[in-house]
Amino acid sequence: MAVLLISGLLAIFANSRFVRADSYPSANSQISYPGLSPIFTPTIQYWGQQILAWGAEFNVDPNLAATVMQIESCGDPRALSGAGAMGLFQVMPFHFHSLDDPYDPATNARRGLAYLASALERAGGNSRLALAGYNGGVGLIGRAEWTWPAETKRYVKFGAPIYEDARAGISTSENLNMWFNQYGASLCRQAAQRLGLP
């Protein structure tokens, strides 16, 4: 009976309309860097060496940095949100210095990861709370989750499991695939075009 049930579920998934994030644009175009999980899309792997360096600079796990970049911009250095957040890490304008170029990848990463590092510190190293703080402001850390904005709840719902998958050493992430299908496909297509990836 269990074999029939599993076979049936596999058939359903095989015929589903969902696209796997690890197959977009193709799994073969992914280059994985030691220390950076292979679960991330090619547009994040494109920044692999820099993510490792930026993470080391701010003492932030590169897989957590990659998780944030995945959800925020899918690796598009020119991403701009309706709220005014800019670049790879979707940093708000007030985090930049007057002479900063918000779209310079290194500058954007340094401002974004400085904020993520402060959220991690305030959260006592709890990555789930740090993700909430990154999205909704560090003032959310310590507040009851039911008071968080819907956007922050959604951000943590996807971000925390994606990060856990990255840390687990697995080669694909169903959690990332769900995020990709629900929110990330067009964002990642735009990033791929911007980066000149297939």
Rounded Cα distance between 95 and 12, Å, is 46
* Backbone phi, psi, residue 91, to 5°: -85, 135
Q: Which of 72, 121, 164, 174 is catalytic?
A: 72
Rounded Cα distance between 59 and 47, Å, is 17
What ranges in the chain are assigned the alpha helix state H?
2-14, 42-45, 48-58, 62-72, 105-122, 127-136, 150-168, 174-179, 185-195
72 is an active site residue: yes
Task: Catalogue the active-site residues.
Answer: 72
